[in-house]
Structure 1
Amino acid sequence: MPHLHKKIKKGRPYYYVREMARIDGKPKVTNQVYLGSPERIMSLATGAESALEKIQVQEYGALWLANLIDHDVGIAQIVDEVVPKGKNEAGPSVGEYFLYAVFNRMVDAQSKRALTDWYAKTAVQQVRPVDVNALSSEKFWKKWDRVSQKQIEAIAKRFFEKLAQLETSRSDCFLFDTTNYYTYLAADTESDLAQTGKSKEGRYWLRQVGLALLVARDTGLPFFYHEYEGNCHDSKVFQCVLEDVLDAMRKFGRQDVTVVLDKGMNSEDGMAVIDAMDGVHFVTSYSTYFAEELIHVDRNKFVVVDTEKNRRLRKLGKEDDQLTAWRSTGEYWGRTRTVIVTYNPLTASKQRYKFEKKMRTLQSALYEIRSKVRSRAAQWRNEDTVRERYETICRDMYLPDNLYDLNFALKSGGLDMSFRKNYYRIERHIDRFGKNVLITDRMGWSTDEIVRASLDRYMVEQNFRQTKDSDLVNMRPMRHWTDSKIRCHILCCIVALSYLRLLELRLAKAGLKLSAATTMQQMRALHSCLCWNVVARKAIRKLEEPSEAQAQIMKAMGYGVNSGVLQKLPH
């Protein structure tokens, strides 16, 4: 409850509005707003009847929503059960440090160094009281240094079990994929996780940390993750975590399960492990460059697939844009599998546009090369050297080097070069645009079921995009300099990601289809205001009148605002 507090400075009285809360069982000042001299108090008291003057405004709605989602899970309690508070340990527990990091990742991701200032501007003391000065980066590192890799794994296991209790998944299909995140670790900083590897964001000069994620198809909730070295290939990662992935699928789904994979993970060894296990199946994409006999099948053999997007296209009269597929069987990884080739006209058009742009660039490069060869320029007088440079240009543009035929001849004075398009190779290359190859051991599934399962892999890709969002979650760049802190940071991001998805599911059940980003953006604009009541001549705290969108979100979560007071709605 806000109250006036007087301080005497150099013999003169000055007034403040103070708010108190119990932190670690002791009453502490959680908020203090300077009002001024007695004259200032008198001026506040001489307003219109029933008028309220705002003397402090703080962000409330998004933080309140984040705390409401945590009520059912309790990440702080889960962490503290695994990493209990020390005998003489003061301040927030290790679990609370995780919790406040998660809240920030859900609302407005900041560095640990900025957390104290960020929380000081929010109404955290009305949501979940804490000494914000204790949320410094130094305290975070000190607390997180206590958490081992085994403890992180134990926390994650308990967290996913709790999620499964709240949102029961009986899915027979799970989606698995990998990505990586760049860090700013110096080259001489010791780290097993942060390694120089192929960056999926093009930051190849920075050290990377990889992340594997398993998502339930029916809920879109994560149920397993694994951080790994940034220089490890996807197929090796999948082999390393395969048993854990299968255990998670059976634990949180059904006994007969299917995992949907990207083509980077379908190695011989990985498929052999899946084949050896009863009740475990796969749907995976396959590189078109290793399936020439499938890619060039007559387009007339393709039939329209029953997908939600195709149904929308038909309603719009865009039948020519529908996804189609052709089905066959073949020998892959030592067994007969179902093979499906899909064709997406819209994707093919986009790829054709990019290809033609690249071909124009390549043609310009060839004119320049020919000019240098004919002018007898240094370093351009050897046929093998010129071919090698042409192949390098093609490789950098991700183009085959056989789309142009290069011809060389010795003429008076030296080497001469000419080139022309290889229209047969170009047509063969264009024919693969918009096509994707799927392979599965689900021989009994229909073509529609297989294609839809593969398309649903967007759910895990959507999770990855959220972890790279500049506001919510934002796992990168990882400004952490030890593996233990990197693991703690990743766990916080996974929890925040799961909470945001849990929020979307709760809203959807109430008939409100909003993304987590839109919801948080709306709720951040709902403020808690410390006001001076002119009539009562005292300070009171009230919530702003929620907008229509904010009111709908709060109602979906079972709450409302009445005369500035948050109230739980009757069932």
Structure 2
Amino acid sequence: LGGQAGELTVAYDAGQNSTDNQEHLEASEVGYATSLPPSDHPELLAVSHRDFKTVDDDRFPGVTGYDTTVTAYGVTRRAVITHSPDFHAAQARGFAQTLAKARRQLAALQDRLARGRTRTTTAGVHAEIDRILAPRWVHRVITVEVSGDTPATRRLRWRTNPRARAKLEAEIFGKRILFTNRDTWPVAEVVAAYRSQPDVEAGFRQMNDPHVVSFSPMFHWTDHKIRVHAFYCTLALQVAHLMRRTAAQADLPTSVRELLATLAGIQETVLIYPSTGGRPKARRTLTDMTPTQQRLYDLFTLHRYAPRP
């Protein structure tokens, strides 16, 4: 890759965390930005929102953060707790759907028990309740009570605790715990490094596109040629994303596919003019361009490759 190991920063999610991986990273001296499971660090979740500070409203509107340290996987490193209103709202919507499903299932079970039309044992009823409350956080919000020892007398009562819901939302929703060894970086740079993962994942998805910057078909069978093929496919992906970034910086946000499709629409045509004598005259010119195509044409200085009169 070139450069020193310390110049590189690896971004990965919490699913890749382990003590062995952490030891390998520490020994390699590579920079990293990852996240920690919030449930493993309740002391960080307990930090008051009043202590959070704005990260960067231009780059991350509404996102706030709290800068501290934490011990995880055998090392003590910098931790940045972030809160995103968008992430908060998304988690709240998802949890509302999960709660609604649990309520429907509890209501159905309550109705069956009230009619006495079930042969399920008390242990079986509790097992079904455990299954209903198994989705994340549901057991913290819904309380359940079973009474009676026989099918005829067995009853179920349950309720949703709004205070517990509010406490859960304030404690967890919208928060991420970022874990990094980039001690001198501004908080915004740590957040940006961690959030770069979707860009990399999008790159891998792009290489699965059969039409644009694709890895397949390969048409090679030897290891050497496969490595060469992988190299120039990765190089093509890098160039395509650099072009997309350049366009975005010029207020032309777009995807790689849309960018290349727009550029592909700029074509060369040959006009044939009849002559009074001799061979017909041919003149090469570009097709008419849309405003977006013209801006991209100027941005990438494509006139260097255009036909000249």
**TM-score band (shorter)?**
0.7 to 0.9
* Residue number among 288, 298, 302 corresponding to 1:546 in the alignment: 288
Contact 1:373 1:381 in 2 (8 A): no
Contact 1:325 1:343 in 2 (8 A): yes
* Aligned counterpart, 2:97: 357
Q: 1:262, CA displacement in angstroms?
A: 1.5
Partners of 2:128 and 2:211 lie apart in 1 by: 43
Are positions 1:566 and 2:277 aligned together? no
Structure 1 residues 338 and 514, CA gap change in structure 2 (3 angstroms) = closer
Larger relative contact order (Cα-Cα within 8 Å, sequence gap ≥ 6): 1
Gaps of at least 5 residues in structure 2 are none
Hey, which of these two has a bigger chunk of strand by percent? 1
Are positions 1:388 and 2:127 aligned together? yes
* Residue number among 374, 391, 399 corresponding to 2:114 in the alignment: 374
* Residue number among 5, 11, 21 corresponding to 1:270 in the alignment: 21
Q: 1:327, CA displacement in angstroms?
A: 2.4
* Residue number among 159, 167, 173 corresponding to 1:420 in the alignment: 159
Structure 1 residues 301 and 483, CA gap change in structure 2 (3 angstroms) = farther
* Aligned counterpart, 2:44: 294
User: Between the two proteins, what is the percent identity of the paired residues?
Assistant: 19
* Aligned counterpart, 1:517: 257
Tell me which amino acid in the other structure corresponds to 1:526: I
* SS of residue in 1 equivalent to 2:154: strand
Q: 1:331, CA displacement in angstroms?
A: 2.0
Tell me which amino acid in the other structure corresponds to 2:288: P
Cα deviation digits, residues 158-209 of structure 1 (max 9, x gap):
xxxxxxxxxxxxxxxxxxxxxxxxxxxxxxxxxxxxxxxxxxxxxxxxxxxx
Gaps of at least 5 residues in structure 1 are 1-247, 314-321
Q: 1:438, CA displacement in angstroms?
A: 1.2
Partners of 2:14 and 2:78 lie apart in 1 by: 15
Structure 1 residues 451 and 558, CA gap change in structure 2 (3 angstroms) = closer
Contact 1:545 1:561 in 2 (8 A): no
Tell me which amino acid in the other structure corresponds to 1:407: E
* SS of residue in 2 equivalent to 1:546: coil
* Aligned counterpart, 1:408: 146
* SS of residue in 2 equivalent to 1:308: coil
* Aligned counterpart, 1:27: none
Cα deviation digits, residues 5-37 of structure 1 (max 9, x gap):
xxxxxxxxxxxxxxxxxxxxxxxxxxxxxxxxx
Contact 1:260 1:454 in 2 (8 A): yes
Structure 1 residues 276 and 529, CA gap change in structure 2 (3 angstroms) = closer
Structure 1 residues 462 and 545, CA gap change in structure 2 (3 angstroms) = same
* Residue number among 243, 246, 254 corresponding to 1:503 in the alignment: 243
Structure 1 residues 552 and 561, CA gap change in structure 2 (3 angstroms) = farther
* SS of residue in 1 equivalent to 2:144: strand
Q: 1:355, CA displacement in angstroms?
A: 1.9
* SS of residue in 2 equivalent to 1:365: helix
Partners of 1:540 and 1:393 lie apart in 2 by: 76
Q: 1:492, CA displacement in angstroms?
A: 7.0
Partners of 1:484 and 1:409 lie apart in 2 by: 70
RMSD (Å) for aligned C-alpha atoms? 3.9
Tell me which amino acid in the other structure corresponds to 1:404: I
Partners of 2:130 and 2:211 lie apart in 1 by: 41
Q: 1:308, CA displacement in angstroms?
A: 3.0
Partners of 2:13 and 2:149 lie apart in 1 by: 51
Partners of 1:362 and 1:474 lie apart in 2 by: 44
* SS of residue in 1 equivalent to 2:59: helix
Contact 2:284 2:308 in 1 (8 A): no
* Residue number among 168, 181, 192 corresponding to 1:441 in the alignment: 181
Contact 2:273 2:281 in 1 (8 A): yes
Q: How does 1:129-140 map to 2 (within 5 A)?
A: none
Partners of 1:365 and 1:484 lie apart in 2 by: 57
* Aligned counterpart, 1:308: 58
Tell me which amino acid in the other structure corresponds to 1:274: L
Q: How does 1:211-226 map to 2 (within 5 A)?
A: none
Tell me which amino acid in the other structure corresponds to 1:546: D
Structure 1 residues 403 and 272, CA gap change in structure 2 (3 angstroms) = same
* SS of residue in 1 equivalent to 2:34: strand
Q: 1:334, CA displacement in angstroms?
A: 1.9
Tell me which amino acid in the other structure corresponds to 1:460: V
* SS of residue in 1 equivalent to 2:89: helix
Partners of 1:471 and 1:377 lie apart in 2 by: 59
Q: 1:256, CA displacement in angstroms?
A: 4.3
Q: 1:360, CA displacement in angstroms?
A: 1.9
Partners of 2:73 and 2:214 lie apart in 1 by: 38
Contact 2:268 2:287 in 1 (8 A): no
Cα deviation digits, residues 103-152 of structure 1 (max 9, x gap):
xxxxxxxxxxxxxxxxxxxxxxxxxxxxxxxxxxxxxxxxxxxxxxxxxx
Tell me which amino acid in the other structure corresponds to 2:54: V
TM-score by length of 1: 0.45
Q: 1:272, CA displacement in angstroms?
A: 0.9
Are positions 1:450 and 2:200 aligned together? no
Tell me which amino acid in the other structure corresponds to 2:120: R
Cα deviation digits, residues 42-63 of structure 1 (max 9, x gap):
xxxxxxxxxxxxxxxxxxxxxx
Q: 1:505, CA displacement in angstroms?
A: 5.4
TM-score by length of 2: 0.76
Structure 1 residues 256 and 524, CA gap change in structure 2 (3 angstroms) = closer
Q: 1:470, CA displacement in angstroms?
A: 8.3
* SS of residue in 1 equivalent to 2:176: strand
Cα deviation digits, residues 57-114 of structure 1 (max 9, x gap):
xxxxxxxxxxxxxxxxxxxxxxxxxxxxxxxxxxxxxxxxxxxxxxxxxxxxxxxxxx
